[in-house]
Amino acid sequence: MNELIRMPDSAEKTQVPESRDVSQIYDTAAGDEIFALAAEIYPICRSITGNGVRETLRILGRYIDIDINEVPTGTEVYDWTIPPEWNIRNAYIKDARGHKVVDFADLNLHVMSYSVPIRKHVTLSELRSHIHSLPEQPDVIPYRTSYYSQDWGFCMAHRQVLSLRDETYEVMIDSTLDEGSLTYGEYLIKGETDEEFLLSAHICHPSLANDNCSGIALLTYLASRLSTIKTRYSYRFLFAPGTIGSIAWLALNEPTVKRIKHGLVLSMVGDGGGPTYKKSRQSDAKIDRAVSHVLRHSGLKPSILDFSPYGYDERQYCSPAFNLPVGLFQRSKFGAIPQYHTSADNLDFIRPEYLAQSYRLIASTLDAIENDVMYLNTNPKCEPQLGRRGLYAAIGGTQDVEASRMAMLWVLNLSDGIHSLLDIAERAELPFAAIRCAADLLRQSGLLIDPIC
């Protein structure tokens, strides 16, 4: 007989805590709200530093009480140094007749990010050596950066490049690269414990809707909704420039890092692909199991990928000295779609319904993590008689009754002080929500109790 199961004396019985029902934040308006916010920040010219990031964070501040942090140029953060701050007011290429061939004001992707200021007349030949285009996708404009080498460049549709006449052009980039700072935003929801769940989105890309206006907007909306309910974990939302931003945050917040128990990086959450989850370096962390479980029961066709050291900021969170349980959630996998890092990643590429779907998947994951507790069956010898407690028909609908009964039988059978609700959901191959609901019913009937802590 299983000696692990010791029933507490009734005097020892601890109070049954309330289930933390994150599903309360499911919201039919979510898709439209997230889309609207993504659309609002889409036109802003962001980079790894500069006013575009500040303006974006100011807009997010309308939804959540976000902290703005500035890290001065030259600050050393592990192996890296915060670069000069880049800002840009205007840029264009004019042809011999003074006609603007490309104009930054039309689309900020036209200028390579971190381009040094320039104003001169150049031959077509010299101009072309500074133009980036995609011969295989001749109608879209690529996104390019030059953060760590001094250079300038324009990005154009290849079809337009081919149409340029052999004449003299005026190139003008009115940018500045000065002492300044790198800016990131942070928002903390205090939970019952100091243990933290990190949610992180990169905020350094200019007009790319999916990558990552979608992630920024979803996290902001999630933060505003999550702040209205009680949670076990504290939730830290980080909006920081990719790579250098998360490196700076880690370097400046090591004590906080130790409190992170679960985490997700979000990017490209608004297209109809995937969903895709790349596991943390730990590979079987609770976050890995929870996301995988939620995605497998999503009715979609998820891809669950092993960790690799290439991707988004999970690269830094999962570097060997941190090895944090932080995975990457996306819809389409980065780099695997033609829109990736081009002007085709615009507001037509993301949709409210996909944003709503992603939002719900993330919320369901949080629900599983928040409620992944371990109960004890108070009646561990044989099954209790569910019928006389009215538990057979506790939920309406024949199929629901059947599913609810199976969920109750699984919870009873595995609530042995060894298996948590997520363990049970995995083994039962039932949605976590069904298991949690069954556990709630059984607790109310006194058939489950919290184990002695």
Give the binding site for its own copies (CB under 8 A): 1-2, 5, 77-80, 148-149, 243, 246-247, 250-251, 254, 257-258, 281, 306, 308-310, 315-316, 318-323, 377, 379-385, 387-388, 406, 409-410, 412-416, 427-428
Nearest to 131 by CA among 157, 154, 158: 154
In whole angstroms, give the CA distance from residue 271 to residue 354: 6
In 35-135, the DSSP E strands lie at 67-72, 76-77, 80-81, 85-94, 100-103, 118-122, 131-132
Whether 11 and 423 have beta carbons less than 8 Å apart is answered as: no
DSSP codes of every residue in 258-279:
TTEEEEEEE---SSSS--EEEP
Choose between 155 and 386: whose C-beta lies nearer to its own copies.
386
What are residue 174's DSSP bridge partners?
90
Minimum CB separation of residue 148 from its own copies in Å reads: 5
Choose between 148 and 284: whose C-beta lies nearer to its own copies.
148
Choose between 3 and 348: whose C-beta lies nearer to its own copies.
3
Measured CA to CA in angstroms, residue 98 lies from 94, 166, 168 at distances of: 5, 14, 10
The DSSP 8-state label assigned to residue 452 in this structure reads P
Whether 42 and 36 have beta carbons less than 8 Å apart is answered as: no
Q: CA quadruple 409, 414, 419, 425: dihedral positive or negative? A: negative
Minimum CB separation of residue 80 from its own copies in Å reads: 5
Minimum CB separation of residue 355 from its own copies in Å reads: 30
Minimum CB separation of residue 346 from its own copies in Å reads: 27
Choose between 422 and 430: whose C-beta lies nearer to its own copies.
430
Minimum CB separation of residue 446 from its own copies in Å reads: 11
Minimum CB separation of residue 413 from its own copies in Å reads: 4
Instruction: State whether residue 210 is helix, strand or coil.
Output: helix
Minimum CB separation of residue 310 from its own copies in Å reads: 6
Nearest to 167 by CA among 91, 101, 92: 101
Choose between 203 and 318: whose C-beta lies nearer to its own copies.
318
Nearest to 370 by CA among 15, 13, 23, 14: 23
Choose between 309 and 397: whose C-beta lies nearer to its own copies.
309
Choose between 194 and 310: whose C-beta lies nearer to its own copies.
310
